Amino acid sequence: MTHAATQQPAHPARGNARAALLDAALALVRRQGWAATSIDQLCRTAGVTKGAFFHHFESKDALGVAAAHRWTEVTTPLFKNAAYHRHGDPLDRILGYLDFRAALVHGPLEAFTCFAGTTVQETFAASEAIRSACGECITDHAARLVEDFEAALHKYRPRETVTAEGLALYTQTVLQGGFVLAKAKGDAGPLLDGIAHLKRYLQLLFKARRTS
């Protein structure tokens, strides 16, 4: 069977070429990396002409910046509407977030790894614009956890002096590192282990145990 990334899809509806190119970038870069993804392949996967590409983006780097913003648009509703927000206790919401991240880990590696994390590893020294856009994507996601960490710090007495912002960023450090090791090992084990270790750390930090 021909690989989905190389199949010629139906042409997108008029006016949807930009979105089709961005979605093609999210899929291809997560599967094979930024450098291996060419403009020609993006156009084939999106079902648009190269002329359409340059109508919407002046360069591949310009598409990379827009794709990082698109990644935020795609993932925000997934986390905003997740059930872990319904927990009354802030620590349970944080642990529930980590459980939710673990539940997303299934299928091939590109199905659960991060576009922003994948792209910034390749481009941080070559494109300041992409580095900044991907960094903003990751830190903005971390910022959504700050309120719950602040509430947990207020409710529980932590073992160490920590900040809500630092803990929120640390969750992303663990997750992004887990994505890298999952790719290095060729399986999701390191990522799932990292999430489990992070949960244990937070439970010890806050001197609390999650109840069933």
> pLDDT by residue (tens digit) across 140-168?
999 999 999 999 999 998 988 999 999 99
- pLDDT value of position 111: 94
Residue 8 has pLDDT above 60, yes or no: no
- pLDDT value of position 134: 98
Share of the chain above pLDDT 70, in %: 91
The ranges assigned to domains in the chain are: 4-57, 68-205
Fold of 68-205: Tetracycline Repressor; domain 2 (1.10.357)
The torsion region of residue 113 among left (phi > 0), alpha (psi -120 to 50) and beta comes to beta
Q: What backbone torsions phi and psi does residue 68 show, to the nearest 5 degrees? A: -65, -40
- pLDDT value of position 157: 83
Residue 1 has pLDDT above 70, yes or no: no
> What pLDDT digit, counting tens, does each position of 36-93 carry?
999 999 999 999 999 999 999 999 999 999 999 999 999 999 999 999 999 999 999 9
CA distances from 89 to 85, 93, 137 (A): 10, 6, 27
Q: What backbone torsions phi and psi does residue 56 show, to the nearest 5 degrees? A: -95, -30
Buried b (16+ CB within 10 A) or exposed e, 43-62: bbbbbbeeebbeebbeebbe
Considering the four listed CATH numbers 3.40.1080.10, 3.30.2290.10, 1.10.10.60, 3.30.450.20, the one that applies to the domain covering 4-57 is: 1.10.10.60
Mean of all residue pLDDT scores within the chain: 91
Residue 122 has pLDDT above 60, yes or no: yes
How many angstroms separate the CA atoms of 139 and 86, rounded? 23
How many angstroms separate the CA atoms of 133 and 146, rounded? 20
- pLDDT value of position 159: 80
How many angstroms separate the CA atoms of 79 and 123, rounded? 26
> Confidence class of residue 207 from pLDDT cuts 50, 70 and 90?
confident
- pLDDT value of position 147: 98
